Structure 1
Amino acid sequence: MLAVPKYGFVVLAVPKSGSTALEAAFIKHAQLVTSGPPSLKHVTAREFGERFVPLLEQHGYARADYEVTALVREPVSWLASWWRYRSRPGIAGKRTYVGDLGFDEFVGRVVTGEIRLRPQCDYVTSPDGRLAVDRLWRYEDLDTAFEWMRLKVGKKKIKLPQRNVSPAREHEVTASTRDLIEEAYAADLALYRSLG
């Protein structure tokens, strides 16, 4: 989570959605950053409201002073990124390593819950399913989101670096795997499509 309330925005770090690059770009201008562990880096909108809104208010940043924003990814692309990320050689032998799995098998294990990946909508919606952030972007619009943030900060020299990039790994998405993903992550897909 990257909080830049002085310049009017907070970025919730939805996993595999470009938030690490945004953090690297704006960390010098931030008032609060939670880089890790994952339970702190990837706070949900609800957790942000409960834990961090009061903290920021104590330091002079009212909730009305900033917009809470995030990026989400199309579910097939999101799972493919997770699959590539967990295939990197540096974690071979660890519990999270999936370099020995094909994409279809990885998806099967995610859908059955053997590999746990929290849906993206959990990070940006309320328990009743309503959008709980002020501004939501598609991952493909990362450059547009960055430019919006850069203009808010008012510094032309800020660049968006590449960070946390998953290694290249070839795969094809079969129709049955796409159907499985779209069924299992129907709420994420609907959220993503609503941003069209």
Structure 2
Amino acid sequence: MMIFTGPKLAFLSQSKTGSSAYQAALGAKADIVITNPTTLKHATIQRFDRFLKPMLAVGGVSDVETLGVIREPISWLGSWYRYRSRPFLDGHANSTKDVSFDQFVTDYMAEDRPSYANVGSQYRFLFAPNGKHSVDHVFRYENQEGLIDFLETRLDLALDLPRVNVSPVMSLELDPKIESKLRRKLSDDFDLWDRLDAGA
């Protein structure tokens, strides 16, 4: 997570949406950069409002707006799957080395997810279930041009985005029946992603 006190903007760090690249490019410009613990680095909007916003207010910084990113849900799960297939996780409970993508997505939809498929929810990261907490500005991961333009305007800078933390390249196909079930399971995620104009 990065917080810019002058422009009053907090960039929430949703996993597998390019946040590491933006932190590499903008970290030196931010007033606050949270890299650890991961529960704060990847704090949801609900945690931000509950814990970090009051802290900022104590420091005289109020009315901070939030920025978040959502990735097309199947692509997002694919990125998690590919990331957890890397050799350094061999033998670890989080490894997807010997798991098919169909199985990974099926396990993600299960009530009791195995460790390797327990990767959270993009929608619940950005919007709390009670409706009391929501991110102010949401961009599609696929709309990098729009996101960069927003940041350059808001932060008054030119942004050079590096490629970091990139998952291995794989060809992933999802069984149509599993995809249909996933679309029902993650209807909020798909609906939000669909509503966001690619040029917004």
Give the structure-2-normalised TM-score: 0.89
Distance 2:4 2:154 in 1: 10
Same amino acid, percent of matched pairs = 30
**SS of the counterpart of 1:69?**
strand
Distance 1:5 1:151 in 2: 15
5+ residue gaps in structure 2?
A: none
Asked if the contact 1:9/1:149 (under 8 Å) is kept, the reply is no
Asked if the contact 2:46/2:133 (under 8 Å) is kept, the reply is no
The 1:130/1:80 distance shift into structure 2, 3 A limit, reads: farther
The 1:38/1:88 distance shift into structure 2, 3 A limit, reads: same
Asked if the contact 1:84/1:167 (under 8 Å) is kept, the reply is yes
Letter in 2 for 1:146: I
Q: Normalized per residue, which structure has more helix?
A: 1
Match of 1:145 among 134, 144, 147: 147
Deviation for aligned residue 1:130: 6.4
Deviation for aligned residue 1:148: 1.5
Give the structure-1-normalised TM-score: 0.91
**SS of the counterpart of 2:10?**
strand
**Matched residue, 1:167:** 168
Q: How does 1:1-196 map to 2 (within 5 A)?
A: 1-63=1-63, 66-112=64-110, 113-114=113-114, 115-129=117-131, 132-156=134-158, 158-196=159-197
5+ residue gaps in structure 1?
A: none
Asked if the contact 1:8/1:152 (under 8 Å) is kept, the reply is no
Distance 1:129 1:100 in 2: 39
Q: How many residues align?
A: 193
Runs of 4+ in structure 1 off by over 6 angstroms are none
**SS of the counterpart of 1:7?**
coil
Letter in 1 for 2:118: R
Letter in 1 for 2:100: G
